[in-house]
């Protein structure tokens, strides 16, 4: 049975219109869900860096949301000025997108994180304890490893000097080599180290081999065996984000306001 050309074209056009309508409806109806998932994922990673949630621990979305609601305040930080900008909504501002937008991004000279640009504002998380006192501050960090850009969070204790924890949530380093940045053992070696020297310069470094205990060597973290390039990348990116072009201006202001 032969169909007329008119019928065939009409049939194809109908199928196209119906399918594109379905895809559009799905995209629009799932958009909110997608945004909520992305937000919860970010929040979970912040809690992991701060040690409130273990990596891989089964914690419901509701628990993450509740913990955030009760204990965490999200600040929008102007990196150049070191000030907190309350005119920007932290639930919708996307620093990773802003860092790629030629209209918004802050281009950088060569730097230890190997980054070309950052967003003008970053989201910083202020954690409080049950009494409402500052417990920790969680800073986003990013920079080049060997194969990839690593994205994570670095948590500082309320003294704004001692490291609480670190957690990378996205990278493509080799499992078993650079990928050991995800191991609980390596991550634990950050806890209690001092990020800055007496002059406030970020000096913390991933060393080669195991680092002595924090009391003996407060500025060193265990090395990543067979992955010196990733390790040096992590040193560079952490120092960058704690330095003048990262959160240095913000941390200085914040410490001063709190009389630290
Ligand atoms: C398949 C393959 C994957 C590698 N992945 C990494 C990696 O993820 N991170 C890294 O620093 N080095 C990686 N390396 C090793 C580097 O090429 C380099 O030898 C290493 O960083 C040197 O570190 P070391 O002085 O601790 O041995 C890899 C090498 C090979 C052959």
Q: What pLDDT score was predicted for residue 106?
A: 97
Residue with tokens 């690593």: 150
Contacts of 152 (CB under 8 A, 6+ apart): 45, 49, 140, 141, 142, 166, 167, 168, 169, 170, 171, 181
| pLDDT tens track for 118-174 | 999 999 999 999 898 999 999 999 999 999 999 999 999 999 999 999 999 999 999
Q: What pLDDT score was predicted for residue 41?
A: 85
Q: What pLDDT score was predicted for residue 75?
A: 97
Residue 36 in this model has a pLDDT that exceeds 90: no
Q: Which atom of ligand 1 is nearest to the CA of 223?
A: 26
Do residues 140 and 184 make contact, with C-beta atoms less than 8 angstroms apart?
no
Q: What pLDDT score was predicted for residue 20?
A: 93
Span from the CA of 177 to the centroid of ligand 1 (angstroms): 7
Q: What pLDDT score was predicted for residue 143?
A: 98
Percent of the chain residues past pLDDT 70, beyond the cut: 100
pLDDT band at 3; cut points 50, 70, 90: confident
| 177 within ligand 1 shell (Cβ under 6 A) | yes
Span from the CA of 115 to the centroid of ligand 1 (angstroms): 21
Q: Across 18-32, 49-63, 177-191, which has the greatest mean pLDDT?
A: 177-191
Task: Output the DSSP codes for 82-141.
Answer: TEE-TTS-TTT--HHHHHH-TTT-EE--S-TT--SEE-SEEEEEEEE-TTS-EEEEEEEE
- Give the closest residue to 179 by CA, choosing from 220, 222, 227, 223: 227
Q: What does each C-alpha distance from 114 to 97, 108, 142 come to in angstroms?
A: 18, 9, 9
The 10 Å Cβ neighbour count of residue 56 is 9
pLDDT band at 44; cut points 50, 70, 90: very high
Residue nearest atom 3 of ligand 1, based on CA coordinates: 174
User: Which residue intervals of 131-220 are DSSP H helices?
Assistant: 184-188
Residue 182 in this model has a pLDDT that exceeds 90: yes
Q: Which of 145, 174, 182 to mutate to test the pocket of ligand 1 (most atoms within 8 A of CB)?
A: 174
Average pLDDT over residues 175-188: 96
Q: What pLDDT score was predicted for residue 196?
A: 97
Residue nearest atom 14 of ligand 1, based on CA coordinates: 227
| 176 within ligand 1 shell (Cβ under 6 A) | no
Q: Which of 114, 177, 182, 234 to mutate to test the pocket of ligand 1 (most atoms within 8 A of CB)?
A: 177
Give the C-alpha separation, 50 to 126, whole Å.
10
Average pLDDT of the chain to the nearest whole number: 94
Sign of CA dihedral 94, 152, 57, 227: positive
Residue nearest atom 20 of ligand 1, based on CA coordinates: 227
Span from the CA of 167 to the centroid of ligand 1 (angstroms): 21
| pLDDT tens track for 209-247 | 999 999 999 999 999 999 999 999 999 999 999 999 999
Residue nearest atom 15 of ligand 1, based on CA coordinates: 227
Span from the CA of 185 to the centroid of ligand 1 (angstroms): 19
Residue nearest atom 4 of ligand 1, based on CA coordinates: 174
| pLDDT tens track for 70-96 | 999 999 999 999 999 999 999 889 999
E-strand ranges in the chain read 72-78, 83-84, 106-107, 117-118, 121-128, 134-144, 149-157, 163-170, 205-206, 220-221
In whole angstroms, how large is the CA radius of gyration of the chain? 22
Span from the CA of 53 to the centroid of ligand 1 (angstroms): 30
Give the C-alpha separation, 82 to 199, whole Å.
19
Percent of the chain residues past pLDDT 90, beyond the cut: 80
Residue 1 in this model has a pLDDT that exceeds 80: no
Q: What pLDDT score was predicted for residue 55?
A: 84
Tokens (6 digits) for 97: 């997108």
- Give the closest residue to 137 by CA, choosing from 72, 64, 57, 184: 72
- Give the closest residue to 237 by CA, choosing from 95, 118, 107, 123: 118
């Amino acid at each position: 049975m032969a169909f007329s050309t008119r019928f065939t074209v009409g049939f194809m056009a109908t199928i196209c219109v119906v399918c594109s309508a379905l895809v559009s409806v799905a995209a629009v109806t799932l958009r909110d869900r997608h945004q909520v998932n992305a937000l919860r994922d970010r929040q979970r990673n912040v809690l992991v860096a701060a040690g409130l949630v273990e990596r891989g621990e089964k914690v419901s979305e509701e628990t993450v949301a509740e913990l955030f609601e009760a204990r965490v305040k999200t600040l929008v930080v102007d990196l150049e000025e070191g000030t907190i900008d309350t005119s920007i909504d932290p639930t919708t501002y996307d620093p990773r997108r802003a860092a790629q937008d030629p209209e918004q991004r802050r281009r950088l000279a060569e730097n230890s994180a190997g980054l070309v640009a950052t967003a003008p504002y970053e989201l910083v998380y202020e954690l409080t304890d049950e009494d409402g006192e500052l417990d920790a501050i969680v800073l986003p960090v990013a920079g080049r490893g060997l194969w990839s850009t690593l994205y994570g969070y670095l948590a500082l204790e309320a003294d704004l000097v001692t490291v609480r924890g670190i957690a990378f949530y996205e990278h493509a380093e080799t499992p078993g080599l650079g990928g050991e940045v995800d191991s609980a053992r390596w991550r634990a070696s950050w806890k209690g180290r001092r990020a800055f020297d007496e002059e406030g310069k970020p000096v913390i470094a991933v060393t080669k081999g195991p680092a002595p205990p924090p009391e003996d060597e407060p500025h060193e973290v265990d090395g990543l065996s067979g992955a010196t390039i990733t390790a040096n990348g992590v040193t560079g990116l952490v120092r960058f984000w704690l330095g003048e072009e990262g959160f240095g201006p913000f941390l200085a202001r914040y410490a001063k306001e709190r009389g630290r």
